[in-house]
Chains A and B, each alone.
Chain A
Amino acid sequence: LAKTTQPISMDSYEGQEVNITCSHNNIATNDYITWYQQFPSQGPRFIIQGYKTKVTNEVASLFIPADRKSSTLSLPRVSLSDTAVYYCLENTGGFKTIFGAGTRLFVKA
């Protein structure tokens, strides 16, 4: 069973900022939070990872509050090509990393 909870799907329009929130109420002290993106007929791709506070890279920002029981992936100004499934994971090590169903983001023109 996935240890994280995230919305099943979200819709957005091009140019909007999209925030996907993930709940991980029982996250372990050492676990990182990692987000992956998956396009149809491709393998998941690493987007961003963090432990606490805020992390930003060229693709997204990740906000993790002090209690670490949730995290928010922020995609600035989405385009049609950002339509994908986004997975939030607690990183307990590769063979223990569990992928849930993810959030299906659909970006409309």
Chain B
Amino acid sequence: DVKVTQSSRYLVKRTGEKVFLECVQDMDHENMFWYRQDPGLGLRLIYFSYDVKMKEKGDIPEGYSVSREKKERFSLILESASTNQTSMYLCASSFATGFNEKLFFGSGTQLSVL
């Protein structure tokens, strides 16, 4: 089974802190994604990566950056955390971009910024 592991289940940070969310997948997938999920807004794509060192902005990249130095690891960085970044963050991976692509998600990180 594909496993997507997010390093933290819950995080509490202070406004202005730099925050790192880590995600690792064990199935040699090319594509990795970061979403945030908020009540009533569904899942929104922040960034995705289709290869090592490659990244593309999703729908809501402002205030975030990403890093993909190795194929299995995709990090989301909040340069200066703000209270409106309090959310559930979900990492996902997929084998290849195609019309029958399937996304595999981690369990999520619930981030609270105080």
Contacts and interface: CB of A to CB of B under 8 A. Distances in A.
How big is the A interface, by class?
20 to 34
How big is the B interface, by class?
20 to 34
Given A44-B43, A99-B42, A100-B42, A94 B105 contact: no
B25 interface: no
Contacts of A93: 97-99, 101
A43 B101 CA distance: 17
Contacts of A34: 102
13 contacts: A41-B88, A41-B110, A43-B90, A43-B106, A44-B43, A91-B100, A94-B92, A94-B94, A95-B31, A95-B97, A99-B35, A99-B42, A99-B43
Interface of A: 2, 30-32, 34, 36, 41-46, 49, 51, 91-95, 97, 99-102
